[in-house]
Amino acid sequence: MSATVAASSSRDHPRDDSANTVPQQFTDDSGAPATLPDVGSGGEESKMKILLGLLKRLVGVKDVANLRLSLPASLLEPIPNLEYWQYADRADIFAAIGDSSDDLERMLAVLRFCFSKDLKFIRARLGKTYNSTLGEHFRCSWRVPPLILDKKTGAPIVRTHVHVPLPNEPAYGGQGGSGWSTPVLRAEDGGKGSEASSIRSASSKNGKSTKLPNPSTASFDMSSLRQAIPGPGDEVLPRDPDAGVKESEKVTVVFLCEQTSHHPPVSAAYYYCPERGIEAVGIDHILARVSFPSVRLGPGTQNKGIFIRILRDGPGKGEEYQITHPEAQVNGILKGAYYGTMSDQVAVTVRGGDGATRLRVLLDYKDESWIGKPRFLVEGVIYRYKTGDEDAESWKKLKQVPSDKVVATLEGNWMKEIRYKLKGEKEWKVLISLDELALIPKDVRPVEEQDPRESRRLWDPVTVNLLAKNWGEATKQKQVIEQRQRDIAAKLKEEGKE
């Protein structure tokens, strides 16, 4: 259907003048009248019918992400693309990357971040976000107590937002956020030090100490919030999630992302923790293709991974860690319960610094069987080699690494727990327990205080109508934004500008 609408807002905050358009004829990128499939009632049955029809049409397309395709708003999750594709949902783990003076411990800290950066694919429902417009940007921050390690066991101690499953929460393929609880901490770990907030332990078969939730501390039910996945909505929660951790122990992590290309869709991202001197940069360029009934996602040619840098003085200063991205697959589309799997190799390579030797990590996400439930298995090795050894830095598979260079091995379930074992030792140690981690809400300025091209403000007319289930109006408001993007592109082309 083609549509002629005027842009409107359901909130009394200032708008970019270009949004207050007069009624206009929407066109596609060729200048022809824009058409969209009928959205019906917008319910789950209508969504599934449209989605399956689209997937069948897209089979064989090399890069769906680069198509000039406009979807009805009813198929979208109410969150901008730039806000969704960020990797600091556990900013406390990012902030702790450079804490150790030991290069192996720093590499283990980078690996904790590596596994936590995809937490949204474990806790939250997968979905299609808004396509970013050229020059659109998003920014947010977190104020958190950094992750610390138990001095005796070396196990991570989570000091904020401990995951508590909601009733009937699926084991995988989230249902739109999850519950969290205030952790129970010892005084030396940042707790209040009272009997009520002291940590209690239970012995397990392997001798590890397991933290038990405090029954006097009620968990927060994220399902009561107005959100499908963590994004626009009531993310600022009404109680302290940090078990009395002193404000002086907390640090700030900031995130800024901007869309730098519309076709192909490319964005640039920046992360920074000023108190700890840790930053990260990256270019996000995603390729998508349909292999019915699944969708495969992978890094595009401009996406070389995430680059983490240690800027602070001391051991490790000048080190840069490159984490490559794996290929992933979105499954469960026919059942309407999406979940992701990964089947690929990932490398974590450190450069810079002044060491005579370097550490490198290879991770192998195991192929999933067509029969039975997914296993989400991963294994890996950490190995050491002489600085400048180009062959050792080019290895991609675990079997290529000579045993005399291996420092440690890793194994586990990337949805549950990853553990590691140092060479020559028999005991496995917990690297990170994903089961303990809830998504940490972002601190974002109110919409009325944001810039006109800041993501939440730019897409606010669509978000408001999606949350209210006004599917038709949400689609019209989405078309207004898309048409503005086409008009800008046409004007730049006419003026001969890039």
- Give the tens place of pLDDT for each residue, 443-472: 999 999 999 999 999 999 999 998 888 988
Q: Is the pLDDT at 12 greater than 70, yes or no? A: no
Residues 195-212, buried b or exposed e (16+ Cβ, 10 A)? Answer: eebebeeeeeeeebeebe
Q: Is the dihedral of CA 466, 468, 469, 470 positive or negative?
A: negative
Q: Are residues 400 and 419 in contact, defined by beta-carbon separation less than 8 angstroms?
A: no
Residue 389 to residues 121, 392, 395, Cα–Cα distance (Å): 36, 6, 11
Q: Which two tokens stand for residue 477?
A: 């408001």
Segment 152-159 shows an average pLDDT of 92
Segment 166-173 shows an average pLDDT of 77
Q: Is the pLDDT at 27 greater than 90, yes or no? A: no
Segment 186-202 shows an average pLDDT of 54
Lowest mean per-residue pLDDT among 22-31, 206-215, 347-356: 206-215
Please tell me the predicted confidence (pLDDT) of residue 217.
42
**What are the φ and ψ backbone dihedral angles of 180, each rounded to 5 degrees?**
-145, 160
Q: Is the pLDDT at 100 greater than 50, yes or no? A: yes
- Model pLDDT for residues 324-370, shown as the tens digit of each residue: 999 988 887 767 677 889 989 999 999 998 889 999 999 999 988 87
Determine the length of the chain.
Answer: 498
What is d(CA 106, CA 37) in angstroms, rounded to the nearest whole number? 51
Lowest mean per-residue pLDDT among 35-44, 173-182, 374-383, 466-475: 35-44
| Residue 214 three-state SS | coil
DSSP E strands: which ranges in 7-166?
76-80, 128-130, 137-144, 148-149, 156-157, 162-164
Segment 53-69 shows an average pLDDT of 59
Please tell me the predicted confidence (pLDDT) of residue 166.
78
Lowest mean per-residue pLDDT among 11-15, 261-265, 417-421: 11-15
Cα 497 to chain centroid, rounded: 34
Lowest mean per-residue pLDDT among 115-129, 205-219, 306-320, 354-368: 205-219
Q: Are residues 463 and 18 in contact, defined by beta-carbon separation less than 8 angstroms?
A: no
pLDDT cut 90: percent of the chain above it:
46
| Residue 229 three-state SS | coil
Q: What is the CA radius of gyration of the chain?
A: 24
Please tell me the predicted confidence (pLDDT) of residue 40.
46
Q: Which of 82-96, 227-241, 369-383 has the highest mean pLDDT?
A: 82-96
What is d(CA 206, CA 417) in angstroms, rounded to the nearest whole number? 15
Task: Give the model's confidence band at 67: pLDDT under 50 very low, under 70 low, under 90 confident, else very high.
Answer: low
Burial class (CB in 10 A: 0-12, 13-18, 19+), 444: buried
Which pairing describes strands 76-80 and 128-130: parallel, antiparallel, or unpaired? parallel
Task: Give the model's confidence band at 68: pLDDT under 50 very low, under 70 low, under 90 confident, else very high.
Answer: low
**Structural domains of the chain sorted by starting position, each given as residue range(s) with its CATH number in brackets:** 80-436 (2.40.160.120)
Write the CB contacts of 167 (distance below 8 Å, at least 6 apart in sequence): none
Q: Which two tokens stand for residue 79?
A: 């969150």
Widest CA span in the chain: 72
| Residue 439 three-state SS | coil
Please tell me the predicted confidence (pLDDT) of residue 383.
98
Task: Give the model's confidence band at 143: pLDDT under 50 very low, under 70 low, under 90 confident, else very high.
Answer: very high
| Residue 477 three-state SS | helix
Helix (H) or strand (E) holding 488: helix 471-494
What is d(CA 342, CA 365) in angstroms, rounded to the nearest whole number? 6
The pTM for the full model equals 0.82
Averaged confidence pLDDT in the chain: 80
- Model pLDDT for residues 369-399, shown as the tens digit of each residue: 877 788 999 999 999 999 999 999 999 999 9
Partners of residue 437 on adjacent β-strands? 162
What is d(CA 461, CA 25) in angstroms, rounded to the nearest whole number? 19
What is d(CA 279, CA 321) in angstroms, rounded to the nearest whole number? 11
What is d(CA 254, CA 257) in angstroms, rounded to the nearest whole number? 10
Please tell me the predicted confidence (pLDDT) of residue 415.
93
Please tell me the predicted confidence (pLDDT) of residue 121.
87
Cβ count near 12 (within 10 Å): 6
Classify residue 327 by its DSSP letter: P
Q: Are residues 95 and 273 in contact, defined by beta-carbon separation less than 8 angstroms?
A: yes
Looking at residue 456, its amino acid is R
